[in-house]
Amino acid sequence: MVFEHKDEEKRGEKESVPTVPTVSPTDKIKELEERKAAIARKKKELEDKELDLNNKKEESYSKRKKAEAKVNKIGEKKRKSVIDIFNIDELLAQEKKKVEEERARKEQEEEEERARKEQEEEEKRAIKDKQEKVVSKLKRTQSEGNLLDSIKGGIQLKDTNTEVVTPEKENEGGWGSLHRMIKEKGHRRSGSLGSLENKGSDDEWEG
């Protein structure tokens, strides 16, 4: 904001808003607040002086004229201080808005980063679960294959004609065992089951 001086010697001149050096928003806010406080103190001093001069106006006419001129001058300075405080308040509002926008931006970036990490963790968990399911299925398939191999391993083939002998048949007794023995060993004897029976009859006669 720009205002014109009303002093006779400065009439026509322009008054500009105090410029602020380029610094961070936080430092600028602190500087503006300090300037505002200094102006407020100066304003209070002027008011005290104005009151004192008003009291002195009553002493004499000449002194009163001089006092009035000074009072008018002080009044102008007071007006200027009010304008300066108003301008500084506007600058403060702008800088505070910048600080708030920067804070909101950082919060948004942090929130986006958290969301990204959560999504990555979720994807990792999904991949891990899928891998565990595949491994579990492979183990189950392997276990079933081992069981099938064990079952097949229990069946043995023997070169006794074309008969398939299982472990159950191996453990069988009675006529089945005798029949197997005859098949395995009978080909080495000259006789047969009948000849064995005849030989038994001869032994009986000899006895």
Q: DSSP readout, 122-183? A: HHHHHHHHHHHHHHHHHHHHHHHHHHHHHHHHT-EE--STT-EE-HHHHT--THHHHHHHHH
pLDDT of residue 22: 65
pLDDT score of 1 more than 90: no
pLDDT of residue 110: 92
pLDDT score of 189 more than 60: no
pLDDT of residue 160: 47
**What long-range pairs does 18-24 form, CB within 8 A, spacing at least 24?**
18/84, 18/87, 18/88, 20/91
Residue 164: phi, psi to the nearest 5? -95, 120
What's the rounded Cα separation, in Å, for the pair 73 and 152?
A: 119
Query: pLDDT band for position 54 (50/70/90)?
Result: confident
pLDDT of residue 49: 86
What's the rounded Cα separation, in Å, for the pair 39 and 84?
A: 8
Arithmetic mean of pLDDT over the chain? 72
Q: What is the mean pLDDT of residues 16-30?
A: 70
Global pTM?
Answer: 0.36
> Helix, strand, or coil here: 14?
strand
Q: What is the mean pLDDT of residues 68-80?
A: 88
Instruction: Give bridge partners of residue 3 from the DSSP assignment.
Output: 15
- C-alpha distances in Å from residue 47, one per residue of 63, 74, 107, 151, 158: 19, 8, 47, 112, 128
pLDDT score of 194 more than 80: no
Query: pLDDT band for position 184 (50/70/90)?
Result: low
pLDDT of residue 120: 92
Q: What is the mean pLDDT of residues 156-185?
A: 50
pLDDT of residue 179: 53
Per-residue pLDDT reduced to its tens digit, 76-91: 988 998 899 899 999 9
Instruction: Give bridge partners of residue 156 from the DSSP assignment.
Output: 165
Q: What is the mean pLDDT of residues 30-54?
A: 87
What's the rounded Cα separation, in Å, for the pair 45 and 41?
A: 6
pLDDT score of 152 more than 70: no
